[in-house]
A = this chain, B = another copy of it.
Amino acid sequence: MTEVGEFSLIDRATARRRQPATTEIGPGDDAAVVRAPDGRVAMSIDMLVEGRHFRLDWSSPRDVGAKAVAQNAADIAAMGARPTAFVVGIGCPPTTASSVLDELSDGIGSAAEELGAGVVGGDLVQAPSLIVSVTVLGDLEGRAAVERSGARDGDVVAVAGPLGRSAAGYALLREGITDGPLVDSHRVPTPPYASALAAARGGAHAMIDVSDGLLADVGHIAAASGVVVDIDSAAVPVDPAVARVAAERGVVAALDWTLTGGEDHAFAATFADGTVPAGWTVIGTVRAASPDAGVLVDGVSWTGSPSWESFT
């Protein structure tokens, strides 16, 4: 595989896919040109490494591509923006089967297409293991970005999307169970993008992508905003499938997975009381730091399992 192969790789990710109207110049030149209708772009990068963020015996190359797109798109949605364009850097050993690169590219291309975004450029290089680096641009559609730092005394905190499903699916994979909806949730997250946009349109004060675990990520809002977020554990939605798997195992509480499981790419946000949009579940309240900012569960620090760590 020569480095010239980048062209065919990107061709594969974009072939038979129409570029969206935001793509002014697509792949094939020194750089792409993407429209930024409101004069700004949101921008984020994530890097996935084989053996650390995915395993090819657990996930298909297509899953890996779809996951890379979803977790980047979730970062954009958490700002209240809509993804418009992706560029993709792929590193792989020279022995990598071309079918792996084909499927990876197809996973990236079809996930981007579902979001209405273009894959506008890429770079393919030799590397010791499979590495996928995705950068995403997003359009704020004229709104202010929803930052982590906007939570205010008197807000409520709410969540939208799956919680604990990726952690439960990961536990099943470790047991050798490779099928089923929880395992699928681990392989390819399905962030509730429409809920994030509804939050932004509805005037959310702060928002974050739940990738490290609900408590950790709400903690980022608390720290950036200088507030205390108190979560009412009884109000936290526990996914029935997660509850069932936890009960069958008997060694982990479903609430642990729900509060600390990573990689669900749900969203957490704070709103002025009474302004929470449909699709969001209120799980707690925000008050001024007293004196330290942080996150509490039922008024006290959480003493359950620590936050999610990717496998190594």
Q: Would B29 and A148 count as touching, CB distance under 8 A?
A: yes
Which of B36, B49, B138 is in CB contact (< 8 Å) with A125?
B49
**A40 proximity list for chain B (CB < 8 A):** 24, 33-36
**A49 proximity list for chain B (CB < 8 A):** 91, 125-128
Q: Would B147 and A29 count as touching, CB distance under 8 A?
A: yes
Q: Does A222 contact B (CB under 8 A)?
A: no
**A87 proximity list for chain B (CB < 8 A):** 43-45, 135
A78, A88, A120, A123, most chain B CB atoms within 10 A = A123
Q: Which chain B residue has the least Cβ–Cβ distance from A90?
A: B47
Q: How many chain A residues touch the partner (CB < 8 A)? A: 66
A31 and B35 contact, Cβ closer than 8 Å, known pairs A47-B133, A125-B47: no
Q: Would A148 and B30 count as touching, CB distance under 8 A?
A: yes
Near B by CB (< 8 A), chain A positions 74-118 give 74-76, 78-79, 81, 85, 87-91
Q: Give the distance to chain B from A2, nearest Cβ to Cβ, in Å.
A: 8
Q: Which chain B residue has the least Cβ–Cβ distance from A144?
A: B33
**A304 proximity list for chain B (CB < 8 A):** none
Q: Does A232 contact B (CB under 8 A)?
A: no
**A52 proximity list for chain B (CB < 8 A):** 125-127
Q: Does A183 contact B (CB under 8 A)?
A: no
**A128 proximity list for chain B (CB < 8 A):** 49, 127-129
Q: Does A145 contact B (CB under 8 A)?
A: yes
**A41 proximity list for chain B (CB < 8 A):** 33-34, 36, 41, 137
A96 to B2, CA, bound (A): 28
Q: Give the distance to chain B from A105, nearest Cβ to Cβ, in Å.
A: 14
Q: Would A133 and B34 count as touching, CB distance under 8 A?
A: no
Q: Which chain B residue has the least Cβ–Cβ distance from A89?
A: B47
**A33 proximity list for chain B (CB < 8 A):** 40-43, 79, 140, 145
**A30 proximity list for chain B (CB < 8 A):** 44, 74-76, 78-79, 148, 207-209
A33 to B147, CA, bound (A): 10
A35 to B39, CA, bound (A): 6
**A47 proximity list for chain B (CB < 8 A):** 89-91, 123, 125, 127, 131, 133
| 12 sampled A-B residue pairs with Cβ under 8 A | A3-B310, A24-B40, A25-B147, A29-B224, A30-B75, A31-B81, A32-B44, A33-B42, A33-B140, A35-B39, A49-B128, A133-B133
